[in-house]
Structure 1
C-alpha cells in the first residue's frame, strides 16, 4: 500500500468512525444532541478531526442519514422494479413506511420542514421514477408532480402519525388507508383512452414524448408545455 493509499484508508476509517458515533447519538438522543463536542467524545477523537472531514453539522447529519438509509436498504434489499409499475409504486410506499418506523430519529431529521438533504432528494428521485413508469403505462390520472407530492405528503404524514402512537399500537392500517386514498385519486383502473379520461391520456403521452425520435428538442419542449397546460387545474 502506498503512502497516499494509506492516508486515504485512514481518512475513510476516521470518517466511518465519526458517522457511526453520530448515528448512535442521533438514535438515542435525537438530532439536537448531535453536537461536534458530543460526537468527537463518542468517537474518541478531538473536535478538529470532524472539521477536517465535514464542513459543518449539517454535512455530518446528511452523512449519518445516508449511512442509516444505506444500512436499511442493505438489510431489506432495494425494491426491484418488476413488469407492474403500479405494484412497484405500492412496494416503494411500504418500504418507505418501514424505513420511517424502523428509524424514527433519522426520519425526523429527513422530514424536517425546509431542510434540504441529499438523502431526501435521492428518495424523491426514486419516487419520481416510479411515478413516471406508472404514467408511461397509462395508469396515472393526474400530472406526475402532483402524484409525487400526494404520495410524499401522505407517506410522511403516515409515519409521523404512527410514530406518535405507542409502539404496541403502530399497525399498518393507517398507512394502508392513506395509500388507498391516494391511489384512488391518482390511479386509473386501466390504460386510458382519450374518450375515457383526457387528463390521464395527456399525462401518459407526456411521459412518452422522449420516445419520439423524430421530434427536435424544441418540439418536445413545446409539446410538453402544451400537455402541462392541458392537465393543469
Structure 2
C-alpha cells in the first residue's frame, strides 16, 4: 500500500509540474509552485526527484510517454517511405501541440531512458525503407539526418520561426536525400549503394547461418563501404 501511495504521489507531482510548465508558456516554474499545485511539501518533492532538474527530467519522460503512445498507434501503410513521412508529420504535430513537453524532451542534452524507444521506432522505420531497397545512404546516417532535421524544424515551429509548409518542404528534401524513387528497384535502376544498403539491412534482420561471425562482420564492412 505504501509503495502504491508513493507512486500515486509521484505521478501527482509530475502531472502538476507538467500542467504548470504548459501554462507558463516558457516562463520559469518554481518547485514551490509545483508543491502547491500537487498538495505536497518540498521534502516530498525532493524525496521523489532529488532536485528541480530531476523533476523536469521526469516531466520530459512523461512527455515521451504521451508521444510514444501516438507513435505506437500508427499502422504500416505498406509503403515504408510513406510510413516515414507520416512519422515525421506526427513528430512535428506533437511538438507544436505540446511545446513545453517537447522543449524538455528535445531542447536539452539530457534525455530520459524512455527516449531510447523513440529512437528505436525511428530506426525501425528507416530499416524498413532499407529492406525495401529504397534507402540510398547507410541506415545510421539516415537516422541521424531525419532526427536532426525533424527536431530542428519542430523547435523552429515552436519558436514561430517556421510554418507547416516549411516543415513539409524540409521533410521532402530529407526524404529525397536519403531515399530512391519508388519503382527504381524493380526496373533495375537502383545504384550499387542503395542495393548495398538493402542487403545490409536484410542480413541484419536475418543473419545468414552459412557465414561465421567473422565472415558476416567482413561482409558488413564491405557493404558499408559500398553504401558510403
| 1:140 to partner: Cα distance | 0.2
Matching residue within 17, 36, 41 for 1:41: 36
Matching residue of 1:221: 217
| 1:123 to partner: Cα distance | 1.6
Structure 2 residue 43 is the aligned partner of structure 1 residue 16:
no
| Higher mean displacement: 103-112 or 61-70 | 61-70
Structure 2 residue 216 is the aligned partner of structure 1 residue 202:
no
Matching residue within 10, 20, 35 for 1:25: 20
Matching residue within 179, 186, 191 for 2:178: 186
Q: CA 1:229 to 1:201, structure 2 compared with 1: closer, same or farther past 3 Å?
A: same
Query: What is the RMSD of the two structures over their aligned residues, measured on CA atoms?
Result: 2.5
Taking the aligned partners of 1:29 and 1:48, their CA distance within structure 2 comes to: 24
| 1:34 to partner: Cα distance | 4.2
In 2, are the aligned partners of 1:104 and 1:163 still within 8 Å (CA)? yes
Matching residue of 2:47: 52
Matching residue within 110, 120, 127 for 1:125: 120
Structure 2 residue 141 is the aligned partner of structure 1 residue 141:
no
Matching residue of 2:93: 98
Taking the aligned partners of 2:217 and 2:23, their CA distance within structure 1 comes to: 49
Taking the aligned partners of 2:98 and 2:88, their CA distance within structure 1 comes to: 15
Matching residue within 148, 164, 182 for 1:172: 164
| Number of corresponding residues | 224
Q: Name the SS of the counterpart of 2:33 in structure 1.
A: helix
Taking the aligned partners of 1:154 and 1:108, their CA distance within structure 2 comes to: 15
Matching residue of 2:60: 65
Matching residue of 1:231: 227
Q: What runs of 5+ residues in structure 2 fail to find an aligned partner?
A: none
Q: CA 1:74 to 1:144, structure 2 compared with 1: closer, same or farther past 3 Å?
A: closer
Taking the aligned partners of 1:89 and 1:204, their CA distance within structure 2 comes to: 16
| Higher mean displacement: 27-36 or 175-184 | 27-36
Offset from partner CA, 1:173-212 (integer Å, 9 cap, x none): 1111111101111111135488740111111111011312
> After TM superposition, what 4+ stretches of structure 1 lie above 4 angstroms from structure 2?
72-77
Taking the aligned partners of 2:142 and 2:71, their CA distance within structure 1 comes to: 25
| 1:113 to partner: Cα distance | 4.4
| Higher mean displacement: 62-71 or 202-211 | 62-71
In 1, are the aligned partners of 2:61 and 2:112 still within 8 Å (CA)? no
